Amino acid sequence: MKKILYISVIFVLTLCTASCDQMLEEVNYGNPTTADLMTNEANVPLLVGQCYAEVKWLHDHWGYWGVVTLTADEGLCPTRMPDKDWADGGYWRNLNTHNWNEMGGAFRNIWNTTIAGAVLCNKLLKTLDDYRSSMSDQVYAQYSGELEVMRSYYYYMLFDCFGRIPYLEEFVDKASDPLMEPEDVWSKLVNCLEKNAPNLPAVTDDASRALNYGRATQGLAYALLARLYLNAESFGCTPANVKLDNAYSTPVNTAADFYTNAVRCCDAIINAGSYTIEPDYFTNFKIDNSSSRENIFVIVENGEANIDERSGDDGMMLNKLRISLLTLNYNHQKTYNLLETPWNGFCARPGFIDRYAATDVRGPGNEGKGTNDTKQWGWFLGPIYDASGVLCKDKDEAASPAIIVKDVTSLTEATDLDGARCIKYEIDKAGKYKYSENDFVLFRYADVLWMKEEAILRGGSGTSGWNSADFQTLRNRAFAYDASPAAAYTAAYPTALTLDGILDERGREFAWENMRRRDLIRFGKFNQPSYVEFVTATDDYRKWFPIPYKILEKSVRDENGNPVWTQNPGYPSNL
């Protein structure tokens, strides 16, 4: 939702920052230079706002979101017959079966977009340092902290995929340095976030929520810290190999300390009272979801114009959220008069849908009414009717009725109707937007509550919040259509507060929100065909993706002619 947009910010700052060295030597024909802007500390937020320019690529199906969704149990993209839609040389199938290699185009897209974001943050940090004398200590601490936290977020996305990355905290070129090892990257990220979290603004009321909407806050910093601590062991970290700065971070002497720190960071968010669980699950995903008091950090969307394109190795990335187009059937256009014909691609693996109880609103429901259902559900199954109420036909008008089914019988010869479709993000039924206007949710308060409970079960010290008002709302809203929601939840998920129960509940709650792959790795389920259907490559090293071949190909060579940047273990280097 266009609550706050940084388009004007980016426009202004492209003039004065992107070519800063040249701009300062040119005649000013009316556009302010960086020096002009930085004479007034009120312009610092405008400068820093430019750091969000690269976030918009993170939810593209040719980038991070597509890779982490399709490699987990929550997502599938089969080749659909009879026209072999989504065949694409087996690209999507290889993600689904875990048979990717270092040539996969999306890996390079992830590498390039996240590093571009981190480098931009470092460049803006240098600008702040250059004009340090023009601002107060408080302003400098807040906005340098915002840049460092956003840099950490970009690096986290890269780190989550590849482990070994070129981590930098200054605007310099150090391509001759080896890739940093996972435990060292983890330590750098934690130190940076621990240092900066207290300096960022906290959401205290609706006014501060609106002011900081789409920007890094204390909530984002502590939520990302909690995620790092909770996943430390899955990243290969141990108390012996991490290097924490005692000036900012709490020491880690035992494995349990990782989880105690996760609890501490979750409590920092919970005790601040900045966020609350929305009584209606779908408030977080509405076309205008800017009023959600649960969403901590989002990508601010514009579903209309201002299209930016970025050519990837395999497909075209856009700065637009396209989840509805990716998942809906072609016939849904006839139902909702959509401006664009949906692409009928992404769906759920059947076993994932089986984890939802029949009346859980986050699932597909059990009413079988399809597009005639007046209730909102998280997934779509059933018949598709056109706007006049006539049951649609499959792609071929002479074929069978258009009824979406749960099962996907084949990755190579699926029908156009196979697989449940994700509809948690409200669909534009007024025909106003070509792309999704809904702001894409990156962090939610519900995640904070579940991370804390899991961290305690894994040995962290803390007091469970299972009986808190927020947790009660979280559970009750899942069965909002039942007469007794609390009883329905307990009957459906009696083991929710166990580790296995939390894994299932996190899947139900956070489907297609960039979390599931790392959750499965943390629980040891990522490469298990019995848990993730259609997986055929079960090698443990696939918990990390391969460093893209085209990145390694450009690596600086040492004195012996060997590349300084090397491939992740298990994958061939091919250099």
pLDDT tens digits along 302-349: 988 677 888 766 678 888 999 999 999 999 999 999 999 999 999 999
> Could you tell me the CA-to-CA distances from 92 to 98, 99, 343, 525 in Å, in that order?
10, 10, 14, 20
Helices 469-478 and 445-457: angle between axes, nearest 10 degrees: 110
* Residues 551-574 pLDDT 10s: 999 999 998 889 999 999 999 987
5-9, 137-141, 413-417, 461-465: segment of lowest average pLDDT: 5-9
Q: Which residues, listed in sequence order, are joined to residue 262 by a DSSP beta bridge? A: none
2-6, 189-193, 455-459: segment of lowest average pLDDT: 2-6
pLDDT at 482: 98
* Residues 474-513 pLDDT 10s: 999 999 999 999 999 999 999 999 999 999 999 999 999 9
Average pLDDT, the chain: 92
- Rounded CA gap, 370 and 424, in Å? 14
Asked if pLDDT for residue 12 goes beyond 60, the answer is no
* Residues 247-293 pLDDT 10s: 888 899 999 999 999 999 999 999 999 999 999 999 999 999 999 99
Asked if pLDDT for residue 538 goes beyond 50, the answer is yes
pLDDT at 317: 87
Q: What is the pTM of this model?
A: 0.94
* Residues 210-260 pLDDT 10s: 999 999 999 999 999 999 999 999 999 999 999 999 888 889 999 999 999
Asked if pLDDT for residue 26 goes beyond 60, the answer is no
- Rounded CA gap, 406 and 425, in Å? 19
Domain borders along the chain are 332-427
pLDDT tier, 22 (very low <50, low <70, confident <90, very high otherwise): very low
Residue 472 — φ and ψ, nearest 5°? -65, -40
Question: Do 214 and 3 meet the contact criterion of CB atoms below 8 Å apart?
Answer: yes
Question: Do 517 and 75 meet the contact criterion of CB atoms below 8 Å apart?
Answer: no
More confident residue, 14 or 139: 139
More confident residue, 201 or 248: 201
pLDDT at 397: 58
pLDDT tier, 117 (very low <50, low <70, confident <90, very high otherwise): very high
CB atoms within 10 A of CB 100: 21
pLDDT at 398: 65
**Average confidence (pLDDT) over 463-471:** 98
- Rounded CA gap, 202 and 43, in Å? 20
pLDDT tier, 3 (very low <50, low <70, confident <90, very high otherwise): low
Q: Which residues, listed in sequence order, are joined to residue 380 by a DSSP beta bridge? A: 421
Q: What is the DSSP string of 110-160?
A: HHHHHHHHHHHHHHHHHHHHHTGGGS-HHHHHHHHHHHHHHHHHHHHHHHH
